[in-house]
Amino acid sequence: MTQHNLGKVVVLMGGTSAEREISLRTGQAVLEALLRQQVDAQSLDPADDNFMQQLMATKCDRVFIALHGRGGEDGTMQGLLDNLNIPYTGSKVLGSALAMDKMRTKALWQGLGLPTPKSIALNEKSNFAAIVEELGLPIMVKPSLEGSSVGITKAKTLSELQQAWEFAKQYDCHIIAEQFIQGQEYTVGIIEEMALPLIHLITPHDFYDFEAKYNTDTTQYICPCDLPAEREQNLQALALEAFQAIGASSWGRVDLICDDNERPWLLEVNTIPGLTDHSLVPKAAKTIGIDFDELVLRILATATQ
C-alpha cells in the first residue's frame, strides 16, 4: 500500500494517561513520517474537550493510534473507533484490553502453559511477609494497568515491598507483586504476524525502568542480538505465540527475560509500543532494512475494519 491510497489519516496522540508525554513524542514522530511520505495526515489529542467533534469533522479514512496507556491502549479508543466504523492501527478491543492488564495477561499465559514469573495481587489486606516468603526477594511491584515502567519498583526488603505498594497505589488500579528473574532482558517487535530480530537490553540501572527507556543514553541495545540463530528463532516463536494468545494483532512488542539457565520468562505485551528516537521496534526493524518511514507506513497499512 502506498501513500496514494491511504486516504486521510488522523494520528491520535497525547491523551490523559500517565504516559501522555511519551505519546506526544510518538505521535509527533509518526506524523512527521507520514507527512514526509506525502500522506494526508493530521494529529488530534483525545484530551481536548471537543475531541469527538474534531474527529468527526476530519472525515478521516483511518486512524493511527499513537496513544500509550489507559484511554488509548486499553480497548476504550478501539471500541469507539469500531462503533464509528473507522479503521485503526493496532490490536482490536479484546487484545488491547488484555495486554493492558498485566495481571490477566499473566493468568491467561499461565493457563496455556506459557512461562511467566509467578505473581500475587497486592492490596491493603495482603500479608507482605508471606508474599516475601513465597516469591523471595527482590520482588517487582507493578501497577497492572500502566506501561513504560510507570510506577514499577524493585523491592529488596520487606519494608521496601510495603513502600512499593504505597507508591503504586497512586495509579488507581490493581497492583501485582512479581517474582524477580535474574537474567538477560530481551524484547521482540512484531508486525504483520512477523517477529522482528530480538534486541538485547543492557542497562546500568537496577532494571529497565522509565529513565533507562526514555531519558538516558547509557542503555545498550544489542541488535542483531548475541544469541545463536536457533535460540533467537525459538524466542521469536514464543513471543509470537504469547502475542497471539491474548488476541493481539497488527503490531506490537513482547518483553521477556532469560534466566541464568537460559530459560525464557514472558513479562508483558505492548500493543502500542513507543515510536521515538529511543524506541525498540524501529531499532529492530532497521536491522532488516525497514527504515522508520517505511515502518510507519506498514503499520498504517494494517488499519483495516
Q: What is the mean pLDDT of the chain?
A: 91
Tell me: the pLDDT tens digits for 35-75? 999 999 999 999 999 999 999 999 999 999 999 988 999 99
- Catalytic residues, by residue number, are 19, 148, 214, 253, 255, 268, 270, 274
The label of the residue with cell 466504523 reads: 85
Q: Are 90 and 253 in contact (CB under 8 A)?
A: no
CATH of 99-114+182-301, one of 3.30.420.40, 3.30.470.20, 3.40.605.10, 3.40.190.100: 3.30.470.20
How many Å apart are CA 170 and CA 195, to the nearest integer?
A: 35
Burial class (CB in 10 A: 0-12, 13-18, 19+), 215: exposed
Using the predicted structure, report yes or no on whether residue 101 has a pLDDT greater than 80.
yes
* Structural fold of domain 119-179: Dna Ligase; domain 1 (3.30.1490)
Using the predicted structure, report yes or no on whether residue 4 has a pLDDT greater than 90.
no
Q: Is 44 helix (H, G, I), strand (E, B) or coil?
A: strand
Q: Which residues contact 125 (CB under 8 A, 6 or more apart)?
A: none
Tell me: the pLDDT tens digits for 13-26? 999 998 899 999 99
Q: What is the pLDDT of residue 145?
A: 67
* Residue 215 banded pLDDT, cuts 50, 70, 90: low
Q: Report the range of poorest mean pLDDT among 134-143, 256-265, 271-280.
A: 271-280
Q: Report the range of poorest mean pLDDT among 103-112, 149-158, 189-198, 255-264.
A: 149-158
- The class that CATH gives domain 3-89 is alpha beta
Straight-line distance from the first to the last Cα atom of the chain, in angstroms, rounded to the nearest whole number: 16
Share of the chain above pLDDT 70, in %: 91
Which residue spans of the chain are classified as CATH 3.30.470.20? 99-114+182-301
Using the predicted structure, report yes or no on whether residue 135 has a pLDDT greater than 80.
yes
How many Å apart are CA 226 and CA 75, to the nearest integer?
A: 36
Using the predicted structure, report yes or no on whether residue 212 has a pLDDT greater than 70.
no
As given in the structure block, the three cell numbers for residue 237 are 516463536
* Residue 174 banded pLDDT, cuts 50, 70, 90: confident
Strand partners, 139: 155, 179
Which residue spans of the chain are classified as CATH 3.40.50.20? 3-89
Using the predicted structure, report yes or no on whether residue 2 has a pLDDT greater than 50.
no
* Residue 82 banded pLDDT, cuts 50, 70, 90: very high
What average pLDDT does this structure show over 119-138? 95
Quickly list DSSP for 103-135: HHHHHHHHHTT-----EEEE-TT--HHHHHHHH
Q: What is the pLDDT of residue 172?
A: 64
As given in the structure block, the three cell numbers for residue 175 are 497492583
Tell me the pTM: 0.92
How many CA atoms, within 13 angstroms, populate the side-chain half-sphere of residue 297? Answer: 20
Using CA atoms, how far residue 256 sits from 188, 263, 280, in Å, is 8, 10, 13
C-alpha closest to that of 146 among 124, 162, 168: 168
Q: Report the range of poorest mean pLDDT among 149-153, 163-167, 211-215.
A: 211-215
Q: Which residues contact 100 (CB under 8 A, 6 or more apart)?
A: 69, 70, 73, 74, 75, 145, 147, 271
